[in-house]
């Protein structure tokens, strides 16, 4: 079988050329990294779960009018997406203090923030994705003021929707990371949501127990990573009750046989 052309390999995903111009195939790996890839590991089955969870969330966001790059899921590990020009900014949305915000500002993890906070990081692994402000974005031309307005507006809409979605299944959406891209219609660049939304880039805490159901299990050596991701998928209604692992194993097996 002719192998597709690889366009880009990131820490958790690979992008391949898509079947039509303007499309790409996004492949979800099981690789996990933390602390700017200083810590590396594998979470077996993570790619399958993230592909499914991200498909679900992007579909729901599309249904409420949030423009996204998602077209459709192709198989257990791949989805068809629109090719975008990635805006080199990671947008962090925070509802509850945790992680680097707690460390930086000395606010105890779990403290409800007085309002939702948006932070921006410059997407550059070699620099460790440093935090930046609107001033840097404008000065260096990473995005226009109008684009930043659209990005902030979309980030808040995504947060409002996802906070409610997760609250409905007993999960607190503590914080998460978004990436956006530009698509060109004639000479006009439009901002759409890109990348993925999965437990890799969100903090998701069980509302009753505060148990972490996200990549902090890996970052902090808590164990039970795949079980946590499965629990998120299960509560979202994406896995049948019981026998989740069996379902994943069978699917992987089918995929390996090329069906
Ligand atoms: P932080 O507390 O480490 O800044 O992370 C905030 C949120 O953003 C958390 O949900 C994890 C997510 N995130 C990523 O997805 N990728 C990253 O590179 C970083 C630093 C954070």
The CATH number assigned to the domain holding 123 equals: 3.30.470.20
Residue 245, pLDDT > 90, answer: no
Per-residue pLDDT band at 251 (split at 50, 70, 90): low
- In this predicted structure, the answer to whether residue 199 has a pLDDT above a threshold of 50 is yes
40 within domain boundaries: no
Ligand 1 atom nearest to CA at 101: 2
Nearest atom in ligand 1 to the alpha carbon of residue 174 is: 10
Q: Which DSSP string do the residues of 226-247 spell out, in sequence order?
A: HHHHHHHHHHTT-S-SS-HHHH
User: Could you tell me where the beta strands, DSSP code E, fall in the chain?
Assistant: 6-9, 13-17, 23-28, 31-34, 39-42, 70-73, 78-82, 85-86, 89-96, 112-122, 131-132, 171-185, 188-194, 202-206
Determine the pLDDT at residue 186: 81
Average pLDDT over residues 196-213: 98
CA of 177 to the centre of ligand 1 (A): 6
Q: Look at residue 51 and tell me if it is in a domain.
A: no
Q: Which atom of ligand 1 is nearest to the CA of 214?
A: 10
Range of the domain at 131: 85-206
* Residue 81, pLDDT score: 98
Q: What is the model's pLDDT at position 246? A: 52
What is the 178 CA–ligand 1 centroid distance (Å)?
Answer: 10
pLDDT score for 98: 98
At residue 3 the predicted structure's pLDDT band, cuts being 50, 70 and 90, is: confident
Q: What is the pLDDT of residue 242?
A: 61
256 has pLDDT over 60: no
User: Quick one: how many helices (H) and strands (E) in the chain?
Assistant: 7, 14
**Residue 221, in any domain of the structure:** no
Residue 217 falls inside a structural domain? no
| Model confidence band, residue 211 (pLDDT cutoffs 50, 70, 90) | very high
Segment among 86-100, 178-192, 205-219 with least mean pLDDT: 178-192
CA–centroid distance, residue 209 to ligand 1 (Å): 22
Q: What value does the mean pLDDT take over residues 222-235? A: 98
Pocket test for ligand 1, best of 99, 171, 180 (most atoms within 8 A of CB): 99
Mean pLDDT of the residues in the chain: 94
Task: Answer whether residue 76 is part of any domain.
Answer: no
Band (pLDDT 50/70/90 cuts) for residue 252 is low
Ligand 1 surroundings by CB, under 6 angstroms? 92, 98-101, 129, 175-177, 201-203
Ligand 1, atom nearest to 92 Cα: 8
- pLDDT, tens only, 61-119: 999 999 999 999 999 999 999 999 999 999 999 999 999 999 999 999 999 999 999 99
Question: Domain for residue 177, yes or no?
Answer: yes
Best residue for ligand 1 mutational test, from 34, 108, 175 (most atoms within 8 Å of Cβ): 175
Q: Residue 229 falls within a domain, yes or no?
A: no
> 176 C-alpha vs ligand 1 centroid, how far in Å?
6
pLDDT at 259: 44
DSSP state at residue 212: B
Counting the structural domains of the chain, the total is 1
Q: Is residue 58 part of a domain?
A: no
Between the CA of 124 and the centroid of ligand 1 the distance, in Å, is 14
Question: What band does 185 get if pLDDT is binned at 50, 70 and 90?
Answer: confident
């Amino acid at each position: 079988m002719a192998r597709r052309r690889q366009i880009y390999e990131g820490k958790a995903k690979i992008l391949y050329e898509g079947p039509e111009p303007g499309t790409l195939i996004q492949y979800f790996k099981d690789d996990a990294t933390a602390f700017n890839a200083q810590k590396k590991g594998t979470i077996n089955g993570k790619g399958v779960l993230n592909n499914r969870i991200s498909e679900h969330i992007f579909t729901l966001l599309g249904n409420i009018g949030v423009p996204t790059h998602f077209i459709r899921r192709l198989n257990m590990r791949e989805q068809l997406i629109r090719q975008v020009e990635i805006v080199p900014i990671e947008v962090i949305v925070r509802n509850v203090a945790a992680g680097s915000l707690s460390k930086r500002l000395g606010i105890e993890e779990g403290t409800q923030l007085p309002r939702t906070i948006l932070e921006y990081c410059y997407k550059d692994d070699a620099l460790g994705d440093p935090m930046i402000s609107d001033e840097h974005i404008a000065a260096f031309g990473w995005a226009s003021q109008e684009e930043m307005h659209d990005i902030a507006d979309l980030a808040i809409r995504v947060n409002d929707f996802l906070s409610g979605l997760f609250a409905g299944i007993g999960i607190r959406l503590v914080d998460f990371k978004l990436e956006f891209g530009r698509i060109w219609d004639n000479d006009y660049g439009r901002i759409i949501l890109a990348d993925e939304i999965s437990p890799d880039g969100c903090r998701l805490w069980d509302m009753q127990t505060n148990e972490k159901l996200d990549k902090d299990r890996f970052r902090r050596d808590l164990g039970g990573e795949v079980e946590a991701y499965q629990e998120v998928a299960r509560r979202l209604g994406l896995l049948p009750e019981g026998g989740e692992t069996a379902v994943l194993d069978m699917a992987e097996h089918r995929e390996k046989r090329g069906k």
